[in-house]
Every structure is written in C-alpha cells, then in structure tokens.
Amino acid sequence: MGAVPSTPRLSGARPQDTADYLIGSFVGEKTFPIGSDFWQKLLELPLNLHWPTHRVQEACKLFAQNNCNTRHLTKILIHLSWCLQECVSNSGAPSEVYEKAVNAVYISSVFLKYLIENAQSNSIEEFHLSLNESEPAPNGFKTDQNIESLVMHNVLNFIGSVEVSPKTYLLHHELLNFMLVAMSTQLLYGPAPGPTDMNPFIDAAMAQESSLVGLVVRRLLLNYIIRPRIPYNSASYPVFSGGSQPGVLQRVGSAAATLVLLPFNYLVSSTGDGSRNPLADSSLHVLLILNYYHKCVVGDESLTDRSDDSATSDSLSKGKTYFSDNPYCKALENARDIEFDRVDIEGNAHSGSHVRLPFASLFDTLGMCLADETAVLLLYTLVHGNSDFLEYVLVRTDLDTLLMPILETLYSASKRTSNHIYILLIILLILSQDSSFNASIHKIVLPSIPWYQEHLLHRTSLGSLMVIILIRTVKYNLSKLRDLYLHTTCLATLANMAPHFHHLSAYASQRLVSLFYMLSRKYNKLAERIDDKMGKSGSLGQDSLAEDLSAELHIYTDFLRIVLEILNAILTYALPRNPEVVYAIMHRQEVFEPFKNHPRFSELIENIYMVLDFFNSRIDSQTHDGEWSAEKVLQLIIMNCRSWRVEGMKMFTQLHFSYEQESHPEEFFTPYIWRVALSQRGLSFDPSAINLFPVDLPIEKPNDDVDDQSKFQNTNLNEHRVLLDL
C-alpha cells in the first residue's frame, strides 16, 4: 500500500526480508525512540507481501508481551497523528504522505484490536498509552499529553475536514475501520454502561469541540448519502490493482482472526449492488455507535464538567451515577435541511453550528437502503430524535419511497431478525401519530405490488397495503415470534390510522375483520384451558401455569378490545368513506355474536350491531329475485352510506398511541448496532471476548473461513426498551 522505501535497506536484502525485519522489530523487545528513522522505514514499506498464519499469530502475541516496555502502540499512534496533521494542513501533499498515513492507521488497527480482544482488566494502563519518562522526544512534543485524545482528535479532524476523493478514499476508509476498532472496547462490557467501563478512545471522541463534532457528523452522513465508489482507476494503491495479493498486514488481520479491512474481494467487488458500499456502511456504523454512546459517571464527581446543566434524560440520576451528554447525539438531533432555514418561519436565528444536510438526498438514500438494518436504525434515529427531519418526511408527497421498502421487509419477516422487524414497526407507529400522514397514505395508489404473493393487489392505496401488512405481521407474530410488544405496536399503529381510513380496499377490509376472528380464536382457546383447569380442581389455583394463563387471557382481552375500538373508529368517523369495511363486517357478522354480552366488549359490539341492523334492514326492504351477489350488496351499501347518521351510536374517546423511548436506550441500541456491524463483516471480533450481547460459541472451528454472520445472527435481544402510552 505504501510507496517503495526511499531509505537505505540492508545490503542485498530482499523485500520480504526487509518486511520481516521491520515488522519483527516493531513487535520485538527492542525499543525504538519516537524520533528514530525506523518509523519512517516502517511506514514507507510496501505492504503487499505474505506472512504465513503461524508467524502472524506469533507477531500479535509478541507485540502484546513487549508493548509495555517498548510503548510501540503509543508511538505508532503518534506517528499516525503526525501523518494526519500533514495531510490536513497541506491539501496538495504528495501521495506518499497519504500512503504513510494508510500504513500507520492499518498497523495501529491490527495490533490495537488484538490488545482489546485480549484485555485482562478494566484499566487503561493495560494499553500503555503513554511514553516512558526517559523517552527522548522531538522538539515541541509534550510527552505527558493524552495519547488517545491526540489520535482521536486528528482522526476525527481528518474525517470531518478532508473531502473524499480518489486520493483520500483509502485513508478515509482505513480511518473509519480504525474508529470501529478503537470503539470496540464496548464489546467487552455488558449492555448497561457502568462507571468502571473502560472506553478511552470513544471517551476521547466525546470530549471534542462541538464544531468538530458537527463536521464529523456531517461528513459521515454525506458519505452515506453520496456513497463514494472505490477509485478503480487509481494507481496510488496496489491494493486496488487486479493482480494484487493480500498484503502483509492483511494476512496479519485474517490469520489472527482480527480482520480490520473488509475482505479483499468485497473491497474490489463489482456486483453493482446499490445498497452496499464499504465507505457508506462504515460511516453509518461509526455514526450510530457514537450517537448511542453514554458514559456512566460516578455521581459524586462535579457536575460542572457537563456541557449542559439542564436536567435532561441523558443526565438523570441512576443510583449514584449519572450519564454524561453526548455531543454527537445532539448534533444529529439538531441537524437542519440545507434547503430550508427555520429562521424564515419562526423569526428566530438558530446557531450557525448546526449540521446542514440535504434532506431530500438523505430521504432518497434511505428509501434505497431500508433492506439493511443499519439504514433502518438511522431512519428510526432521525424520525424519533430530529423533529425537522420527521416534519420533512411527513410533508413529502412520495411517502411510498420510504413505506414500500418498509412494508416489503415486513412482508418477508421470516427472513429478518425480530429487532429489525420491531424497529420498522416503531417507525410506522411514529409516523402514524400524525393525522396528515394517515390521510395522505390513502391518496397514493399503487398500480401493483408484485412481491405480495397471497392475493392479487391491483390499484391498491398505500394505506390499504399498510393495513394488510400490519395485520399479516400480527398473524406471523402470533404463530412464530409470540412477542407482546410487536402485537401492541401493530395494533397501536392501526388504531392511530383507523379514523382516517379512506376507501379501504375490499381485501384490507376482509383482513381487518379476520384479525378480530384470529385473536378471538386465541382468546377462546385460552378461556377453554382455564375453564378445564377450574373444572378439574374447582379453582384456578395459584401455580405458575395458572398465573401465566390468566395473564395471557388478560392480554388477549386487551387486544380484542383494541381491534373492536379500531372498527368502532372507522364506523364512527369514516363509515361513508369505507363501504368495503361495512360489507366485510356484514359478511362475517357471526364472529361478533359470542362477545355481545362480554363485559369488556358489549358496548363496542353494540355499536357494530347498530350498523349491521341499519344496513341489514335496508337490504331486507329491497325486493330482489334470486340470490344477492356481492356486487349488488356492496352497491346497496354504497347507496345507503349517504343516509347513514352516526347519531345514536355510543361515542368513545379516540385511541391515540404514541411512542416513548426508554430512558436508557443505549442498553438496547448499543448491543444491537454492534451485532449488526459484526454480522455485516465490517469487523470480526473474538466471540469469546464479547460480553455486550450473548454469542453462541462454536464447539470447534474446522474452517477459518466460516461466514462471520452465522456466529452472530441468532443473538437477537429479547428486551425491547420502548414504552407505549395511550
């Protein structure tokens, strides 16, 4: 990757011998001062040579043993910082400067990652991120400065201030991989942050000036939006040439199971898959990890160090600790559309430090990539945390750009993780809280939905399709996942939508009534089991099974009531606009009969029967020879909808569900984001070292090339950190 070294080599030495000598010296016992020309030779070495697996493993172990004395990790990080400073200060720097920086960050990543994976304590001292007091230092360099702060400042400064170009692409990519490695200390701890957690590099990132934080957030999102392609025609880096072999440190990474770069064949892939882009993927992983990080601080420390003295949810007391503010989260929450400034509307000038982004391009990019879990996480983060972006989404007239990939993903729920499905449903719930959204989705007519296989959907409204998919998701959950929160979220979204239904399709209307029947069957089975248990013993008893049955029956009673309230909302507020719903209720009116006298349902079902009586009487009054066809019944319903009056029906308060995020969302999102990052092979990590989420460890590993995704795909989190409020 680097240029041919200009420094003298050992006389007559082959390139392989030189590489062996320099890498061997780096990991060995001998200490090289930070000002030694050894470092220039190391960073100018062309790393396109092979090392066998056993030697790589030995190198990593030897480095870990000797670093406490040599402090070579600190020194390579300092040289990385100097290289980055030169790249930033001199935009016209020769390519050799960038190549040295690439080599520095790559070497740093490989060996830092090994140290993190094999950390034995919670002490930062284990990394030896300082120079020995006796170390001779170059003029102007403070030997006592914080190394992690130095390197993170320069890494973030380069990412935020240097444009991505063919010349800088590889360095940007390697720096993002370094960020993932440096922040992977999170994997060593449990999901709930504790005051003893050691995350020195991510803590250093949190301590940066707000102006730099804004630049970094903007650059990471622009990388995701623009999705820069690999510069195939660039001759700067041999790694991009077709005949290249994995370099020395690429072998270090893969052989020691500490792969830092994406697999070589992925880097040079030409599949044309628009949703996959190495730089965009890495940028989004880094952004999400930064956004959801919260440092747990011991409560008796001074609170004056906080950037915001107001009592926010970030800093609420949790026992004797509090959680420090996250500048990246604030920057993302306050991002503004580059095409629109709120000062024009409100007359209040906002701080010029706000991140400005092209919301239109971000909207379109998300629509293109929502099959990917990280894109879903970004969309959730924006619609929940950034009111400007949520408002932008709600006023778009092409909501199908976002909703169609969401609904298609929900349709294929069996191929997705439960967390993926759940976050998508929360997004729909957040959107359904807005009445204009609920109205506008019925104005968008879809010519066809080719991926929906159970029924031919022709010229179906987006709103009708959303109803169909939500009900299908409930059915899938009922048979497979049995997740209470998933049921609740689906029904809450339908309840928010119900008063705004407009010309709901026949199929959607049928599915809505079938939803009641499906839940009623589950309810009846539970009731029968309880009756059988009471019949045998004379009482329900106090054992765990009895308690579980009783609790589950209560849950399904609530679900049935919500569905009845959904039907009531349609009949009360939108009946004239939804004749197909009336027809579906009339066609299956017998499913409501068993619940007419149920104390929780009777008033709601009374309203349904008032509608049934009205339309049944209109049909009975018509003289008709022969059987009534479905078309004739529907036509009669449409005609009599005009004379329907809601007076006489018992009015219920409209259900309105809203989403409320748990006070400590990092306990859910941090493990989730890391699991996704690992499964997408942007970074591999020793599974035995992971404590952030449960990992199934393989009994034996006969093949080193087993797909990383198989190690992490079954590690879904069972606890959903969300609340639903009526």
Residues 145 and 204: beta-carbon distance below 8 Å: no
Helix (H, G, I), strand (E, B) or coil at 423: helix
Domain boundaries, the chain: 15-238+261-298, 390-503, 507-534+545-653
**Range list of β-strands (E), 257-358:** 296-298, 321-323, 336-337, 356-357
Closest by CA to 106, choosing from 311, 209, 258, 317, is 258
pLDDT at 374: 95
Measuring CA to CA, how many Å separate 175 from each of 334, 380, 578? 26, 26, 56
pLDDT at 482: 76
Question: What phi, psi does 597 have (nearest 5°)?
Answer: -105, 10
Helix (H, G, I), strand (E, B) or coil at 297: strand
Tell me 227's DSSP state.
-
Residue with tokens 């993170």: 152
Question: What phi, psi does 3 have (nearest 5°)?
Answer: -80, 165
pLDDT at 119: 85
Tokens at residue 343, please?
């000062």
Rg (alpha carbons) of the chain, rounded to whole number: 31
What angle (nearest 5°) sits at the alpha carbon of residue 439, between those of residues 437 and 444? 90
Tokens at residue 14, please?
């082959």
pLDDT at 625: 63
Tokens at residue 365, please?
């990019």
Q: Identity (one letter) of the amino acid at 246?
A: P
List Cβ neighbours of 482 (8 Å cut-off, separation of 6 or more).
none
What parts of the chain have a pLDDT lower than 50?
Answer: 1-11, 233-274, 301-318, 344-345, 351, 700-726
pLDDT at 695: 84
How far apart are the C-alpha atoms of 308 and 228, rounded to whole Å?
36
Tokens at residue 666, please?
């990092």
Closest by CA to 372, choosing from 411, 333, 414, 424, is 424
79 dihedral zone (left: phi>0; alpha: psi -120 to 50; beta)? alpha
DSSP string covering 506-520 = HHHHHHHHHHHHHHH
How far apart are the C-alpha atoms of 260 and 282, rounded to whole Å?
11
Helix (H, G, I), strand (E, B) or coil at 53: helix
Measuring CA to CA, how many Å separate 570 from each of 258, 611, 646, 666? 57, 11, 11, 38
pLDDT at 267: 31
pLDDT at 538: 56
List Cβ neighbours of 162 (8 Å cut-off, separation of 6 or more).
87, 88, 91, 168, 172
Polymer length in residues for the chain: 726
pLDDT at 619: 85
Cβ-in-10-Å burial (0-12, 13-18, 19+) of 620 comes to: exposed
Alpha helices in 124-209 (DSSP H): 147-161, 169-183, 200-206
How far apart are the C-alpha atoms of 720 and 422, rounded to whole Å?
9
Question: What phi, psi does 20 have (nearest 5°)?
Answer: -60, -45
How far apart are the C-alpha atoms of 671 and 190, rounded to whole Å?
9
